[in-house]
Amino acid sequence: MMLRSKLAKISLATIAVLGLGSTTLSADTLAEVQKQGFVKCGVDGGLPGFSEVGSDGIYKGIDVDQCRAVAAAVLGDAKKVKYVALNAKERLTALQSGEIDMLSRNTTWTETRDTSLGLNFTGVTYYDGQGFMVTKKLGVKSAKELDGASICLQTGTTTELNVADYFRTNKMKYKLVSYDTNDQVVKAYESGRCDVLTSDQSQLYGLRIKLLKPEESIVLPEVISKEPLGPVVRKGDGRWFDIVRWVSYAMLTAEEAGVTSANVDAMLKSDNPDVKRLLGVEGQMGENLGLKKDFAYNIIKQVGNYGESFEKTVGQGSPLKIARGYNALWTHGGLQYAPPFR
């Protein structure tokens, strides 16, 4: 009898200790990032212009700049980023499970992803749309002529849903060949496994550079979808969400106010109240976010404003030479628009 009651007690205690101590993933990402001393940022790692490892072994690209900007804002040093290269299939699960603090991997903002996956998109850092690339030899001039073609694409993307919709709407047939990574897609396209390579337009230009003979392929004029790309964070951590969102806005505001990495020190003495608030000379924008006063100064000094980042990574200063287009500031007829810093 005694033995039995003892056993019962032990078992109850074991269960209680293990059960009650069940830890949930910390909801305070900011505190965690400050404790670990770096931002864990999920990127593609193999996409020219967006995120790729340069010849010097350093990650570069417009997506990478978002990670660096967050690190500069939170930790004061844009270099304090730990990059995790993820393929399209892994990326959302990696964020859900807490393997990374934020995802900046040319990820399209969709309703499903924003609502049912326990994730939140913080904004749009690049307005994109899906297109097709074909070899010149085929003599195809329009996507409407692609009936019966074999199409290579990366699986786990909105791309395969758009293709299905487009061909269905236009009553055309196609053969789908899907791979895990962009590298495999390019390889298959080059070897002639498929006639068409489809992806977001910005990526098509990036992948085209990777081909052995880029001049033999053309990008068709049709853009078949809206692909707003932006950073993603886990749901349930409002403060971290605000930080990642306002880091992007700070870069846009800086461009709008003419603050660049070159003139940011001089701008500290500016009379413009917008600039003063942005750089933390006036107001308490930084404190509102739980950051230091000079968070935006650090971003602009170390990473640059949105325009600088764009031109350096995908624009005229890069091999991609993509025009600003929709990604110009609203003041220049584009869609990039930051709410006021006040």
Nearer to another protein, 84 or 86 (CB): 86
What is the C-alpha to C-alpha distance for residues 276 and 266, in angstroms, rounded to an integer? 12
Instruction: State whether residue 214 is helix, strand or coil.
Output: helix
Only one of the segments 121-129, 152-160, 217-225, 258-266 lies at the binding site for another protein (rule: CB under 8 A); that segment is 152-160
Question: Given the DSSP bridges, would you call strands 174-179 and 126-128 parallel, antiparallel or unpaired?
Answer: unpaired
Q: Which of residues 280-299 bind another protein (CB under 8 A)?
A: none
Binding of another protein by 88 (CB under 8 A): yes
**Segment interacting with another protein, rule: CB under 8 A, options 28-36, 89-97, 121-129, 215-223:** 89-97
Assess 89 for contact with another protein (CB under 8 A). yes
Query: What is the C-alpha separation between 150 and 272, in angstroms, rounded?
Result: 56
Query: Binding another protein by CB under 8 A: which of 11, 142, 263, 288?
Result: 11
Report whether 313 contacts 50 (CB < 8 A).
yes
If one asks whether residue 176 binds another protein (CB under 8 A), the answer comes out as: yes
* Cα distances (Å, whole numbers) of residue 181 to 79, 137, 199, 213, 216: 27, 26, 12, 20, 22
Do residues 226 and 101 make contact, with C-beta atoms less than 8 angstroms apart?
no
**Residue environment code for 168-184, b if the CB has 16+ CB neighbours within 10 A, otherwise e:** eeeeeebeebbbebbeb
- The whole-angstrom separation of Cα 233 and Cα 101 is 7
The DSSP secondary-structure symbol of 181 reads: S
DSSP symbols for 35-55: HHTSEEEEE-SEETTTEEE-T
* Residue from 30, 161, 211, 268 in contact with another protein (CB under 8 A): 161
Nearer to another protein, 97 or 316 (CB): 97
Q: Which helix (H) or strand (E) holds 119?
A: strand 119-121
State yes or no: residue 147 binds another protein (CB under 8 A).
Answer: yes
Q: Min. distance of Cβ 236 from another protein in angstroms?
A: 5
Longest alpha-carbon distance in the chain: 89
User: What part of residues 41-70 is at the interface with another protein (CB under 8 A)?
Assistant: none
276 and 268 Cβ atoms separated by less than 8 Å: no
Q: Which is nearer to another protein, 27 or 268 (CB)?
A: 27
Q: Which is nearer to another protein, 37 or 148 (CB)?
A: 148
By CB under 8 A, tell whether 118 contacts another protein. Answer: yes
CB nearer to another protein: pick between 77 and 90: 90
- C-beta of 37: minimal distance to another protein in Å? 24
Among 150, 276, 325, 328, binds another protein (CB under 8 A): 150
Is there binding between residue 113 and another protein (CB under 8 A)?
yes
Interaction of residue 149 with another protein, rule CB under 8 A: yes
Contact between 335 and another protein by CB under 8 A: the answer reads: no
Q: In which element (H, E) is residue 133 found?
A: strand 130-135
Cβ distance 132 to 156 under 8 Å?
Answer: no
Give yes or no for a contact between 217 and 211, defined as CB atoms under 8 angstroms apart. Answer: yes
> Which one among 163, 244, 275, 279 touches another protein, defined by CB under 8 A?
163
Site for another protein in 189-228 (CB under 8 A): 191-193, 195
- Which residues are near another protein by CB under 8 A? 2-3, 6-7, 10-11, 14-15, 18-19, 21-25, 27, 88-89, 92-93, 96, 112-113, 116-119, 138, 146-150, 155-157, 160-161, 163-165, 168, 174-180, 184, 187-188, 191-193, 195, 234-236
